[in-house]
Amino acid sequence: MSTPFALEARGLSKSFPGVKALDQVNLALAAGEVHALMGENGAGKSTLIKILTGVHRPDEGSLLLAGEPVSIGSPMEAMEAGIGVVHQERNVIRRFSVGENIVMSRMPRKGLRVDWAAVRSEARRCLAQLDLDLDPETPMDRLSAAQIQLVEIARGLYTETSVLLLDEPTASITSNEADRLFRVVDRLRDQGKAVVFVSHKLEEVFAHCDAVTVLRDGRSVMEAQRLADHTRDEIVDVMVGRSLAALQVPDRVIDLTAAPVLELDGVSTSLGHRGVSLEVRPGEILGLYGLVGAGRTELARAMLGLGRITQGELRVRGKAATIRSVRQALENHRIGYVTENRKEEGVFLEQSVTRNIAVTVWSTLARAFGFVSGKGEQALAGQYVTELDIRIAGQYQNVGQLSGGNQQKVSLAKWLAAKTEILIIDEPTVGIDVRTKRSFYDLIWRLADEGLAILLISSDLAEMVTLADRVAVMDRFTVTGTVDNTHDYDAMSQSIIRLIHTGTAAVAAPGRSKENA
Amino acid sequence: MTAQNRDDAPRTATRRPGAVRRFLATPRFFLIVLIIALVVVIGALKPSFFNGPFVIAPLLTSISIFTVVGLSQLVVMSVGHMNLAIGPMAAFGAMFAGMSFQLFGLPLWAGVVVGLLAGAAVGALSGWIIARTGVNSFIVTLAMSFALIGLVPTVYSWLTTGSAFTVKPDGLDVIGRASFATLCLGNVCGTNAIPIIVVPTIVTMAILGYLFTRTRIGRELLMTGSNVQAAELSGIPTSRRIILVHTLSGVLAALAGFLLAASTGSFTPGIGGEFMLQSFVGPILGGTLLAGGYVSITGTLLGITLTLLIRKGLDLFGVGIETLNILLGVILLIALSADRFRLIRTRRTRAAAAVAPPDDTGGDPHPTGPGADKKEEVSA
Ligand SMILES: Nc1ncnc2c1ncn2[C@@H]1O[C@H](COP(=O)(O)OP(=O)(O)OP(=O)(O)O)[C@@H](O)[C@H]1O
Ligand SMILES: [Mg+2]
């Protein structure tokens, strides 16, 4: 071997109580190369990255940095060794500003005091790399999930690194924002840095990565191969461990004469929406697409009473409804809401899988004296663990110990278990692997066929085109139009982009948008 | 995962650690060991410790009262709140009970009900203010505590001459001062080492144990304690649950106040003066998390037992009250750091790759052993 690898891991193993997360894993990163790390949910990708950055210590195996053996005992040591990272889970401090969060790992100082001017300029420099026009003084809790993810990436770019590890950095942003990240990644590659890229979005991986390592059940089953030598299907089959049949998009017939179960009529909200009108019929999947900051999540939250409707009307099954809380939405109107922010709002990290799933059904399970049968709730949760293939050591396990994708499944399972009639799903497949995505799509179609009305918010255009029956496009807190889904990706993406631009033009003259439903 | 998949990837999916091993890793087991050791040591050095009616029975009486005090804190801790007004709430509840005996001549049961309702009312008021305004429970209950500390003695001085209600309805002494020796079936009588007052405490523990382990509301309280936002977004009426726990805390404080009054024989404004420290020490030593989401009811009993046993032991050796208080402070400190430690450990357990702050020297960030999953159920 002429030039040593920028970073090499040999025979890494790591066990957690109840599970062997890594088993003799090898990873070799060459300088000037973007290396894809692939694998299903729970395969061990994040664990590997945490070992490379000193968050976890390996049970076995060794690390070589530029050919020299190193031991990385803490995140601080990793930083000093020139290994930068963007972790899968958000690790921002909510009360701090964007700038402080970006430079947190190494605060610029003047003597003993923090150099605030440098904090701002450094933060601005990192944000500029991502073309992000965000004031470093903005408090973190004003940002959306996607913006937070972008700030996390900016943080990874703050210190000079020779190796940059990106654990699902694009999970909750749209392809527009992701493209900015890839421009940065391309530049790093040209500078001879090694980049690791974890993603469940195959398109991105194939468009931007040079080499690939695949993990399956904690083992590296494909090691540092050239990505160009393999097809998508091959990689998927290696990840899954068997050949995966192509996704069948069913022919869906929706009863267009049925009365809508959920309607928004010229709704303006305290969160800033203007004249939003939408309708969802039973059995229909209405997609809500838009760029980051378009106000989709906020719209969902306003419907659920987490914001106020100041004008217009929300109608559920034809009747005007005022919803003040998720409780009311669930009990009075049978509406469920899967949040996009799983770590902070979707799951209870310190509670068991069973309880996390059963939380929405206790009111149905409860009998005399509020008694809830432990067996009953376990059986119910078990059903969804199987259905969504949630990978756990046992139902007693705390959700905080699951891999990111499996936590997402838990957050979803709880609302599927609630058996609602209207389901608002916000970014349901963030961080979910290819195979589970398919079973999830099948499940959503089945539920829709059974009459569930679904409002689907997703930043993944491919997912929109696959799942939705109609797509409503939002821009700057208003709906700019609705298109029937032809399931033709290119045509759809064009008409959607056009609607986004119309929205930008229409800002000058705000008013009720026309629907062509 | 398909079966075929499993075959080609034999991952060591070990089983959940057995119930016994899990128990051995809890603070409860540690407390039991300590308690037994102390009993043996104290008993060996001072055989007078084993005197039933004069040492053991009074000790069990205080354990019973203070366990209720601890439970009163435990219920608010389940949602991650605190109640700094437990002492004054106890005085307030006891005052109403004493008042109904002395001024209205009510029978025992009615007076107790009045006292508990009074406790419920002040607790509900704190809870309502907290839920309504979103102000931290620390501040609200601190204010409540000041208000009651002012109010209770004033009422006593209006209504009584000696600042105490001393009228005892029938049965008060049975609850407060009798032992099982007074209960006889034919010729067989109970022991005089166990006071009757343990009964209300055991019943309270059983009810709370049922609440937290078996019912929807108990589960919802723990979920609220784990993550309020997620609880609200899962359809749990968190405001109502918060009001509920504070109400319950008020009821239990009043019950503790009544039991203390019954054991001393008079209702005075000084009731509850010693409650606050103990109310935290018991639950925290027993494993209940200050941050919410996990409670241990037997742990509270054991924590209280340990502190009172130490106190009794030192008492027998003639150590003064100041030393006792210093010791109590030290125990609280240990208990609180134990709580911190457990919290950090569970936080680290989270798959979250907590980007450690630069000064974090960090030990092994994952817990080994069964303690890691301790939070997923409550002990009754
Ligand atoms: N702190 C922990 N305690 C116990 N088990 C853990 C812990 N962290 C991870 N695991 C387990 O290790 C395995 C690998 O998890 P990891 O997070 O590395 O998966 P991943 O490949 O990143 O998956 P995803 O695509 O869902 O993010 C999983 O089975 C997970 O439950
Ligand atoms: Mg991961």
Ligand 1 touching residue B365 (CB < 6 A): no
> B338 pLDDT exceeds 80?
no
Quick: pLDDT tens for A366-391.
888 888 888 889 999 999 999 888 88
Q: Is A88 in the pocket of ligand 1 (CB under 6 A)?
A: yes
**How many Å is the maximal CA-CA distance in chain A?**
74
Nearest CA in chain A to B359: A76
Atom of ligand 1 nearest to the CA of A22: 14
Q: Is the CB of A213 under 6 A from ligand 1?
A: no
Confidence of residue A415 (pLDDT cuts 50, 70, 90): very high
User: In chain B, which residue's Cα lies nearest the Cα of A48?
Assistant: B353
Residue B42 to residue B36: CA distance in whole angstroms: 10
B197 vs A250, more confident: B197
Q: How far apart are CA B304 and CA B295, in angstroms?
A: 15
Residues 6+ apart with CB under 8 A from B317: B45, B46
Tokens of residue A184, six digits: 């940065």
pLDDT in tens, B44-83: 888 888 887 888 999 999 999 999 999 999 999 999 999 9
CA distance A516 to B17: 59
Q: What is the model's pLDDT at position B17?
A: 59
Tell me what pLDDT residue A299 has.
93
Cβ contact A242–B346 (<8 Å): no
B216 contacts chain A (CB < 8 A): yes
Whole-angstrom distance, CA of residue A341 vs CA of residue A364: 26
Count how many pairs of residues, chain A against chain B, have C-beta atoms within 8 Å: 200
Q: Rounded to the nearest whole angstrom, what is the distance from the C-alpha of residue A87 to the centroid of ligand 1?
A: 13
**Nearest-angstrom CA–CA distance, A430 and A427:** 6
CA–CA separation, A315 and A263 (whole Å): 5
Q: Which residues pair with A215 in a beta bridge?
A: A220
Angle, CA B277 vertex, CA B274 and CA B282 arms, to 5°: 110
pLDDT tens string A13-70: 999 887 899 999 999 999 999 999 999 988 999 999 999 999 999 999 999 998 899 9
* Nearest CA, atom 16, ligand 1: A44
Strands (E), chain B: 184-185, 188-189
Q: Report the alpha-carbon distance of residue B279 to residue B81 in Å, rounded.
A: 13
pLDDT of A508 > 50? The answer is no
Give which of B222, B257, B253 is closest to B81, Cα–Cα.
B222
The reported pLDDT for the residue numbered A419 is: 87
- pLDDT of B14 reads 40
HEC per residue, A353-410: HHHHHHCCCHHHHCCHHHECCHHHHHHHHHHHHHHCCCCCCCCCCEHHHCCHHHHHHH
User: Is the CB–ligand 1 distance for residue A199 below 6 Å?
Assistant: no
CA–CA separation, A50 and B211 (whole Å):
40
Contacts of B356 in chain A (CB under 8 A): 55, 74-76
Rounded to two decimals, the pTM is 0.84
Cβ contact B355–A87 (<8 Å): yes
Residue closest via CA to ligand 1's atom 31 equals A402
- From A89, A359, A363, residue closest to B352, measured CB to CB: A89
Q: A-chain residues within 8 Å CB-CB of B230?
A: 344-348
Confidence bin at A260 (pLDDT 50/70/90) = very high
Separation of CA A199 and ligand 2 centre (Å): 9
User: Of the candidates A182, A362, A75, A485, which has an alpha carbon nearest to the alpha carbon of residue B357?
Assistant: A75
Top mutation candidate among B366, B368, B374, B375 for ligand 1, by most atoms within 8 Å of CB: B366
Percent of chain A with pLDDT over 90: 40
Do the chains contact at A76 and B360, CB–CB below 8 Å?
A: yes
Nearest chain B residue to A330, by CA: B235
Confirm or reject contact between B187 and chain A (CB < 8 A).
Answer: no
Question: Looking at the partner chain, which of A89, A349, A369 has a beta carbon nearest the beta carbon of B215?
Answer: A369
Min mean pLDDT across A379-383, B90-94, B164-168 is at B164-168
> How far, in Å, is the centroid of ligand 2 from the Cα of A403?
5
Does A220 sit in the ligand 1 pocket, CB within 6 Å?
no
Q: From the CB of A19, is ligand 1 less than 6 Å away?
A: yes
CATH number of A262-334+420-502, picked from 3.40.50.300, 1.10.3080.10, 3.40.50.1360, 1.10.10.10: 3.40.50.300
pLDDT band at B244 (very low <50, low <70, confident <90, very high): very high
Nearest-CA neighbor of B74 among B226, B376, B344, B301? B301
CB contact under 8 A, A17 and B14: yes
pLDDT of res. A504: 54
Question: Could you identify the residue written with the tokens 């009970």?
Answer: B97
Closest residue by Cα to atom 27, ligand 1, is: A404
CA distance readout (Å), A317 to A307, A321, A453, B41, B166: 21, 9, 11, 72, 64
CA angle A378, A382, A387 (to 5 degrees): 155
- What residue segments make up the domains of chain A, in order of their start? 7-240, 262-334+420-502
Neighboring chain B residues of A159 at a CB cutoff of 8 Å? none
Q: Kindly state if the Cβ of A391 falls inside 6 Å of ligand 1.
A: yes
Whether A400 contacts B352, CB under 8 Å: yes
CA distance linking residue B245 with residue A283, whole number of Å: 41
Task: Tell me the nearest-neighbour CA distance from A501 into chain B, angstroms.
Answer: 33
- Residue B340 — very low, low, confident or very high, per pLDDT cuts 50/70/90? low
In terms of C-beta density within 10 A (0-12 exposed, 13-18 middle, 19 or more buried), how is residue A239 classed? buried
Does the Cβ of A72 fall within 6 Å of ligand 1? no
- Pairwise CA distance, residues B124 & B128, whole Å: 6
- The predicted pLDDT at position A131 comes to 81
Q: Which residues of A touch B372 (CB under 8 A)?
A: 17, 398, 401
Number of H helices, E strands in chain B: 15, 2
Is the pLDDT score of A510 beyond 70? no
What pLDDT score does B101 carry?
92
pLDDT for res B361:
27
Q: Does B97 touch chain A (CB under 8 A)?
A: no
Give me the long-range contacts of B36-45 (CB less than 8 A, separation at least 24): B38/B306, B38/B309, B38/B310, B38/B313, B39/B309, B41/B313, B42/B309, B42/B312, B42/B313, B42/B316, B45/B317
The answer, yes or no, to whether residue B349 has pLDDT greater than 50, is no
- Residue A76, CA distances (Å) to B110, B349, B359, B362 in order: 65, 19, 8, 10
Q: How far apart are CA B279 and CA B83, in angstroms?
A: 9
- In this prediction, residue A163 has a pLDDT band, given cuts at 50, 70 and 90, of very high
Q: Check if the beta carbon of residue B281 is closer than 8 Å to that of residue B335.
A: yes
Nearest Cα of chain B lies from the Cα of A22 at a distance, in angstroms, of: 9
pLDDT bin (cut points 50, 70, 90) of residue B346 is: low
* pLDDT given at position B255: 97
B145-154 per-position pLDDT tens digit = 999 999 999 9
pLDDT at position A451 over 70: yes
How far apart are alpha carbons B341 and B259 in whole angstroms?
34
Cβ of A352 closer than 6 Å to ligand 1, yes or no, is: no
Q: How far is A474 from chain B (nearest CA, A)?
A: 24
Q: Tell me if B355 sits within 8 A of A75, measured CB to CB.
A: yes
Going by pLDDT thresholds of 50, 70 and 90, the confidence category of residue B85 is: very high
- Pairing type for strands A422-426 and A335-338 reads parallel
Provide the pLDDT confidence category of residue B342 given band limits of 50, 70 and 90.
low
Mean pLDDT computed over A105-129: 85
Contacting residues of B for A348, CB less than 8 Å apart: 223, 226-227, 230-231, 293
Angle (deg, nearest 10), helices B238-264 and B108-133: 140
What would the two tokens of residue A419 be?
A: 């058996």
Q: How far is the CA of A27 from the centre of ligand 1 (A)?
A: 18
> Do B235 and A352 make contact, defined as CB atoms within 8 angstroms?
no
A85-99, B64-78, B114-128, B132-146: least confident range:
A85-99
Ligand 1 pocket, A38 CB below 6 A? Answer: no
Does the ipTM exceed 0.85? no
The edge-to-edge listing of strands for the beta sheet with A285-289 is A335-338, A422-426, A453-457, A285-289, A470-475, A478-484
CA dihedral B55, B58, B64, B65 (to 10 degrees): -140
Lowest-pLDDT choice from A214-218, B212-216, B372-376: B372-376
- What residues of chain A lie within 8 A of the CB of B233, using their CB? 326, 337, 339, 345-346
Q: In chain A, which residues have their Cβ closer than 8 Å to the Cβ of B208?
A: none
Interval A291-320 mean pLDDT:
89
Is there a contact between A46 and B222 if contact means CB atoms under 8 Å apart?
no
Q: Do A218 and B361 touch (CB under 8 A)?
A: no
**pLDDT computed for residue B339 by the predictor:** 62
CATH class, range A7-240: alpha beta
Query: Residue B163's CB: how many other CB atoms inside 10 A?
Result: 14
Contact B2 A242 (CB under 8 A): yes
Contact A283 CB / ligand 1 (< 6 Å): no
Average pLDDT over all residues of chain A: 87
pLDDT digits (tens, 9 = 90+) for A474-505: 988 899 889 998 888 888 888 888 888 775 55
Q: Is B377 on the interface with A (CB under 8 A)?
A: yes
SS3 A430: coil
Q: Which residue in the set A91, A241, A370 is minimally distant from B8, CB to CB?
A: A241
- Give the C-alpha separation, B249 to B252, whole Å: 5
B297 and B212 Cβ atoms separated by less than 8 Å: yes
When pLDDT is averaged across residues A414-423 and rounded to a whole number, the result is: 91
B182–chain A Cβ distance below 8 A for any pair: no
Protein residue closest via CA to atom 2 of ligand 1: A401
